[in-house]
Amino acid sequence: MSVSEIDVDQLAGVMPSGPNVIDVREPDEYVAGHVPGAVLVPLATVPDSLGLFSAEGPTYLICLSGARSMRAAEYAAEAGFEVVNVAGGTKAWIESGRDVVTGDSPA
C-alpha cells in the first residue's frame, strides 16, 4: 500500500491548523525533544493505539528519520486510516531550526 509522504517544511505549513501528529519513537527519544503537539505512540504499540489516529483528515507520523514512521503509516493505512509519513523525521525538524518540546507532554 502506498503512503503519502511530506517533508518537515510541508509539516510546518500545516501545523497552524492543529494536525494530528503521532511520534512513534521510544519514550526516551520523545522526552529528549519532539515536534510541538506530537503525541507519543511507540512503534510497537501502534496496533493497540489506532484509536489515537484521526478519523477526520490525515494523521501525520514522525520518528527520528522517517523509517519507523513509514512502517507505522503502512500499518495504519492498511487498517483504513488516512496517514502521511514525515520524511526526514524529527532529526530534519531539529536541523531546520524549528522549535521542539522536551519532556513527556505533547506541548
Task: For 7-36, write each residue's pLDDT tens digit.
Answer: 999 999 999 999 999 999 999 999 999 999
Q: Is residue 106 part of a domain?
A: no
Report the half-sphere exposure of 84 (CA within 13 A, side-chain side).
16
In a domain, 23, yes or no: no
CATH of the domain at 48: 3.40.250.10
- Structural domains of the chain, count: 1
* Residue 36 annotated among the catalytic residues of the structure: no
State how far the Cα of 51 lies from the Cα of 33, in Å rounded to an integer: 24
2 within a domain of the structure (yes/no): no
Instruction: Evaluate whether residue 63 is within a structural domain.
Output: yes
Q: Which of 41, 63, 72, 77 is catalytic?
A: 63
Range of the domain at 39: 35-98
> Has residue 1 got a pLDDT over 80?
no
Asked if residue 79 belongs to a domain, the reply is: yes
**What pTM value is reported for the model?**
0.96
Is the pLDDT at 40 greater than 90, yes or no?
Answer: yes
